[in-house]
Amino acid sequence: MADPTPVAGSEPDVWAGAAYLGAPATVPEAVAAGRVLRVPRWGLADVVILVVAVLFVPTLILSVALAMGVSRTGGAFLLLAAATPWIVFAGWPLLTTHLQGNGVRIDLGYVFRRSDIGWGIGGGVACFVLATPVGWLTEKIFGDFDSAAGNAAAQSTAPRWVLVLYALMVSIGAPLIEELAFRGLVFGAVAKYASGRGESLRAIMIWAGFWATVLFAGIHLEPVRIPVLLVIGAVLSYLRIRTGRVGASVIAHSLNNIPGALGIALLGL
């Protein structure tokens, strides 16, 4: 159903069921468990805030760090550059769903189930199989390229332990936080909007997956890697559609990042 169903005699913002087609599996699970849920008020405006904030907040923080004398090639700057986008990617979904909904676990499907392991491993393999030829073709057209994370590590004078920590951030931290933003908030906001327009479930899933994929690819600000990121993002969005949760996409994202993270950890050996 496209509109929220209020509980009889309750406040108008109490949620009796899955208020929109495409809501994550955690919503009916919570209702079946007897949870009384609020109608989520977050939406597309929160996606706009997320995108705008992640373009400016990290730049501002890093500019202040440089002004304070932090070396651009040092370990502190490397870790700071990796972590500052997380303030937005994690902070805004956590804040807006807390204030305007039921939290990220229920509203965004940010949970992990045992079945997510199999789907996540399969998704990680699919990312590798599908993205490898796209990366090869992109390299033939534009020449050799690396990820922004790989380039930053290669240019850094950070000690080994910093590179290892940075590699862990790339392989574990980034998937946990980026999937909260893209397969969580972006996917959910687009699905909720499309549902309100009376779209079919199939159309809702296509639109939500499309925008989660496009924004995921674009927000990395790596033009040469966009074809590869689109393929990876499409696989991750499929996992969100197929499982109704974010857990499998986190696992697949992590597996996809591990080879690059290992390369970073082993730099200079």
Residue 74 lies in a domain: yes
Residue 32 lies in a domain: no
Pairing of the two strands 14-15 and 37-38: antiparallel
Residue 9 lies in a domain: no
Tokens 């730049």 locate to: 59
Residue 26 lies in a domain: no
Range of the domain at 92: 42-265
The tens-digit pLDDT sequence of the chain (269 residues) is 334 443 333 444 565 555 688 899 999 899 888 888 998 999 999 999 999 999 999 999 999 999 999 999 999 999 999 999 999 999 999 999 999 999 999 999 999 999 999 999 999 999 999 999 999 999 999 998 889 999 999 999 999 999 999 999 999 999 999 999 999 999 999 999 999 999 999 999 999 999 999 999 999 999 999 999 999 999 999 999 999 999 999 999 999 999 999 999 998 66
Residue 206 lies in a domain: yes
CA-to-CA distance for 180 and 202, rounded, in angstroms? 22
Instruction: For residue 39, report the phi and psi dihedrals to the nearest 5 degrees.
Output: -65, 125
Residue 16 lies in a domain: no
Residue 25 lies in a domain: no
Number of domains in the chain: 1
Q: What is the pTM of this model?
A: 0.92
Residue 257 lies in a domain: yes
